[in-house]
Chain A
Amino acid sequence: MAGSPPSAAPVLPDGLVAVVKRDCPTCVLVAPVLDELAARGAALTVYTQDDLAFPLTAVPVADDTNLAVSWHHGIETVPTLIRVKDGSEVERTVGWSRSHWEALAHVEGLGAGLPEMRPGCGSLSLDPDLADVLAVRFSGSVLRGRRIELAALEDEMEATFDRGWTDGLPVVPPTEARVLRMLAGTSRDPADIVAVVPPDLTAVTVEQVAINAVLAGCRPEYLPVVLAAVEAACTEEFNIHGLLATTYFSGPIVVVNGPIAQRIGMNSTNNVLGQGNRANLTIGRALQLVVANLGGGRPGRLGRPGIDMALMGAPGKIGCAFAEREADSPFEPLAVERGLAPGVDAVTLFAGHGPTAIVDQLSRSPESVTRSIAAALRAHGHPKLALGFDAMLVVGPEHGRLLREAGWDKVRFRAELDELLMMDVDDIVQGVDGIDEGMPASMAGRRVPKFRPGGLQIVHAGGDAGLFSAILGGWVGGAKGSTPVTHPVTDIPSTVPSPPGGPA
């Protein structure tokens, strides 16, 4: 549905046009110069941004207190002096500079008694308190989404719950100003199609993803990561439809690699899978809100089944994203292992949940800690099942240090793990140990790996202290379920706003 049409850019009158504000000392300083220009016969129009009583005597003051002229004509500094011919701008100068003003106005001897030059002030149209309102007022055509008016007596937060837009937690109401600000986080066109989102197979636009990123509480600089995550989730290999519909616990987990993680303030250290970091929590949440609100994949509630048939689900399904701790990792980053160049910003989507703790506080050698980790991994899903369920192993820094100091890289660690994760089917066949569950008798006598090839992802994350690692349990792996997908994060504008106070 079309948004409101953009307001047309006001045409500037021919001759000289000045834009000023009373609040700017340089503008007040040049007021006599403007009078002088008018007195010397120039066709001059002076727009004021704030005060219609701007002190001029020889020329009337034109009203730009709604800032339409300033916004449409890109005024960044006041005073700005523009020469206009046949309705088009020919040249402009900003601030006060005698030589520039004289050259532009084709006169000499301007502003006797004034200094040679004086810098101007910021245009009111760039005031941070006004910029969003003006963008909404003057660029209405950018947003195509359906506008919904919340009634004056309606509580905004309650309204979003009433309309079914939330995941059970409050969301940020997606006003036009907030959505426009969010869209500044990507250089992609708001109308671009990002992905076709199951289960309704909705082709969703950058704008629609941005609206849900607002709901989730994202900052604009997170948006490229959210867009990459949506793209990766909605691939045939990742199979978000099946992940959504399964009775199993898992949901999409987003692992972020590359310099963007630190730049947008993602957490890769203490409490990396926990609460407290806005980027980690809202990026994963935005993806899940896209699936729910745009894909139609809502969970059931209060006994009514939805598309999400999870028996119990997992807390991380509200959204789960984290950054890999790359700086002192014994391993190459996950995205590099999966084929991208070092230093490329990337997301890797994994169908999982968790974490499950691996405790080993006594190992002081890489061999010993690897055996501990393997023993825990062998129990993943069920100690008597192999080849079915994927996993992501999160190696904690204190465990990782044992590997790094012994010179074990990821290839070596994987080789050791692979051997330790081989299981004799005879030990785990159905019925053994008095447990009906297990591997089928038809596989008796064989030796099989716990995980399918490619079914175990390994990353490094967590704080400095604590001799633990963790397993993020995965869903059915491979073509029968979900295959992890890595996508680069792209279309980051050169002027992405920084988080307040810098990276966390």
Chain B
Amino acid sequence: MTGPNALHGEMPGFPFPGRPGGEHDEPLLDIIIARRALPPDAPAAMHDLARMLAAMAGPTEPGEMVGEMAVRTAFSRVASPVGISSEAQQPARRRRTRQSYRPARSPAMLVSVVVAAVAGFGSVMAAYADVLPTPIQQLAHVTVAAPAPHQSPNPLPTLEGGKRTDVSPRPECSKVSANADEGDTPSPTPGGHRCNEVSPFP
């Protein structure tokens, strides 16, 4: 390429008129790039260039701070709790509000669930063992197909004037049968449970 529009690199050593220094200006350009002070005897064009670029690399101007609040708000949302601004506290409260609708999973809650499960399982086992009071055993018989309660020789307790009367003692399940030969016979109860209580009917 020839002519005044050619670059120095394309025509090395060519004395371009009106251009500061040709290839020999590189030390001065490096000084400008490094933002150091030019020597006083540097060409005026280099001083002009240095002033221009110094202005360009100057501090941030007020008009360039557009979007600062949005960026700071985004920072507050991402940042840790240390130094959170008032703008960031509101989203944090919203997060806590959303979390409050979730079921709590504290250790106390888990313990309660376990206790309730054990109690329920134990109640069912007691019902099948036929060791519950007659009304409850009857209820278990209806609801979970537990053995039916044994017929008590005594009538169900009645309430007279709000007081229980004639409460018969609960039959003792582990009592030895009066008839030793019946010890090997299976219980007529549907659950196969053997209850060795004394038969009231000879």
Do A and B belong to a common assembly? no
